[in-house]
Amino acid sequence: MLSLETKRTIIAVLSFFLLAALLIVGYIEGKRHIPGSKPAIAISDGNKKCVECHSQQSNASTAVAQWKESEHAIKGVGCIECHGADEDDIDAFSHYQSTIATIVSPKDCSRCHKQEFAEFQRSHHAQAGKILGSLDNVLAEVVEGSTMMHGNAVATSGCKQCHGSIVEFVRDEDGNVMKDRNGIVMIDPETWPNTGIGRLNPDGSLGSCAACHNRHYFSVAQAREPDDCGKCHLGPDHPQYEIYRESKHGINFIAHKDEMNLDAKPWIVGKDYISAPTCATCHMSATPNQPVTHDVGERISWTLRPPISEKVDAPDIKAGRETMPWEERRQNMQDVCFQCHTKQYVQSFYKQYDDVVNLYNDKYGIPTTAIMKKLKAEGMITADVAFDDEIEWIYFYLWHHEGRRARMGASMMGPDYTQWHGMYEVAERFYVEFVPEVKHLISEARAHGNAGGAARVQALLDETLSSEMHKWYLGRMSPEEKAARDKAKAEFDKRYAGD
């Protein structure tokens, strides 16, 4: 019989060995990377307390859980590497013996990702916060909402969530940044939360890397998904996401998603995947001949945004700035296409695309813009207040919604956006609303003693409508064109009459 004393000792010794064995196994599991298993994560001493405490906070414990799944955790990049701040940073605060900031700007990421930072800063994306004062900003701040009351609500929760806010802080009367009772710096709620693509950060850097790299996974696979760009690139005025979903590229992506190898590093089109391109493939990712770029403008040749499209390098050339010529950008994109298509296929596609852009410009963009300018110059609509005249809304729909949709549909193989959501609506807007409204303004001007203005606008309208592409509307189609149409109609009728 063993004494109670001895039994206790044996249990204690056994427990010790069991514990030691568990610890050793745990340590090995943690350190050794078994192929196919998850790699170990590294938590430095500086980060231990952040991780421990924050994983117990019901608020934002997900930050830790997601971070633990990230490439950063494997490489030992912890909370403090991103949130750490210098004491004299405007948003720095002392937090459990560490000096940190809540905002993590592209400049913070640039300590380790210099190249991505440099490319992103020079891109159009980084400039997207500077829309204040643009035509559509009048819409958000004056027409739809108000800057005078309710926190500029439309711009704050609308425009700026995509374009970016100017991050500001709550300040006392002396202009000092205020802290809450836990010592946390108070960020102005009109300006944050915000991950707009062109956010203006307190340290002067532009944008937010988290616009595409959702925290705290910061995963490349997620950024390669079309949905990633789809937060912003959708809707009536820039439906790239919907266009992509309509296109065969989008169809094949959905059908073959499990063959897309989305978390491969590197991820080279034609080598690591062949089924379909995503937004990232065409605009950012590597090809056998090109590295990844964080400047999404390096592969596009037209800008499809303004009332009249021009080549993307035109504004730089006008301003005398050095720039990548549009031909080179187009070659960069075609190099992506060539990984899956032949030369003839790709070049013929570009011919189809250019034709739509040029048609929209020549038939609608250029003449409507000229007429709008003339109406203002002749005092027939107000020149200094936007959106108070009906024709301004008509014109805005024509270029900003429908005209963009047509051009964008053609650029990314979405025929429904080119036709029914696009040129059909442009034409209806032009013939059924724009032209009658111009006529109405002409008769108003005549009735109110502006006969000169009325005559000059009438002349411009006549010139537009009697031009080659519009004269059908006046019943003046050329005899050849008329004969060809009649012949086509007769053949159509015959085919569908069933004999």
User: Per CB under 6 A, which of residues 62..81 are in contact with ligand HEC?
Assistant: 63-64, 67, 71-72, 75, 77-81
By CB under 6 A, what part of segment 242-261 binds ligand HEC? 244, 248-249, 252
Rounded Cα gap, residues 163 and 156, in angstroms? 10
Place of tokens 């739809």: 144
Of 113, 57, 111, 58, whose CA–CA distance to 83 is shortest? 111
Of 377, 381, 378, whose CA–CA distance to 389 is shortest? 381
From 33-41, 132-140, 379-387, 464-472, give the range in contact with ligand HEC by CB under 6 A. 132-140
From 100-108, 368-376, 444-452, 473-481, give the range in contact with ligand HEC by CB under 6 A. 100-108
Closer by beta carbon to ligand HEC, 324 or else 477: 324
Minimum distance from residue 85 beta carbon to ligand HEC (Å): 10
By CB under 6 A, what part of segment 386-415 binds ligand HEC? 408, 411-413
- Among positions 14, 184, 484, 490, the unique one binding ligand HEC when judged by CB under 6 A: 184
- Among positions 108, 378, 402, 437, the unique one binding ligand HEC when judged by CB under 6 A: 108
Closer by beta carbon to ligand HEC, 150 or else 248: 248
- Among positions 218, 360, 364, 397, the unique one binding ligand HEC when judged by CB under 6 A: 218
If binding is defined by CB under 6 A, does position 139 make contact with ligand HEC? yes
Q: Contact letters (x/-) for ligand HEC, 25-44, by CB under 6 A?
A: --------------------
Closer by beta carbon to ligand HEC, 223 or else 391: 223
From 115-123, 361-369, 378-386, 428-436, give the range in contact with ligand HEC by CB under 6 A. 115-123
List, in order, residues 6 or more apart from 270 with CB less than 8 Å away: 287, 288, 339, 340
If binding is defined by CB under 6 A, does position 325 make contact with ligand HEC? no
**Using omega within 30 degrees of 0 as the cis cutoff, is the peptide bond preceding 193 cis?**
yes
Encoded tokens for 206: 């532009």
Closer by beta carbon to ligand HEC, 354 or else 362: 354
Rounded Cα gap, residues 353 and 144, in angstroms? 35
Query: Amino acid identity of 94?
Result: S
Minimum distance from residue 363 beta carbon to ligand HEC (Å): 19
From 109-117, 359-367, 464-472, 488-496, give the range in contact with ligand HEC by CB under 6 A. 109-117
Count the neighbouring beta carbons within 10 Å of the beta carbon of residue 478: 11
Rounded Cα gap, residues 125 and 43, in angstroms? 34
By CB under 6 A, what part of segment 162-181 binds ligand HEC? 162-163
Place of tokens 């069991």: 18
From 226-234, 372-380, 439-447, 484-492, give the range in contact with ligand HEC by CB under 6 A. 226-234
Minimum distance from residue 384 beta carbon to ligand HEC (Å): 18
Minimum distance from residue 227 beta carbon to ligand HEC (Å): 8
Minimum distance from residue 298 beta carbon to ligand HEC (Å): 8
Measured CA to CA in angstroms, residue 483 lies from 479, 490, 493 at distances of 6, 11, 15
Closer by beta carbon to ligand HEC, 285 or else 464: 285
Half-sphere exposure of 378 (CA within 13 A, CB side): 26
If binding is defined by CB under 6 A, does position 282 make contact with ligand HEC? yes
Rounded Cα gap, residues 169 and 341, in angstroms? 52
Query: Amino acid identity of 278?
Result: T
The CB-based long-range contact list for 212-219 (8 Å cut-off, 24+ gap) reads 215/63, 215/66, 216/62, 216/63, 216/64, 216/66, 216/67, 216/70, 217/66, 217/67, 217/69, 217/70, 218/70, 218/71, 218/72, 219/70, 219/71, 219/263
Minimum distance from residue 462 beta carbon to ligand HEC (Å): 32
Rounded Cα gap, residues 43 and 454, in angstroms? 75
From 228-236, 368-376, 453-461, 469-477, give the range in contact with ligand HEC by CB under 6 A. 228-236
Binding residues for ligand HEC, rule CB under 6 A, total: 122
Rounded Cα gap, residues 270 and 272, in angstroms? 6
From 193-201, 425-433, 446-454, 481-489, give the range in contact with ligand HEC by CB under 6 A. 193-201
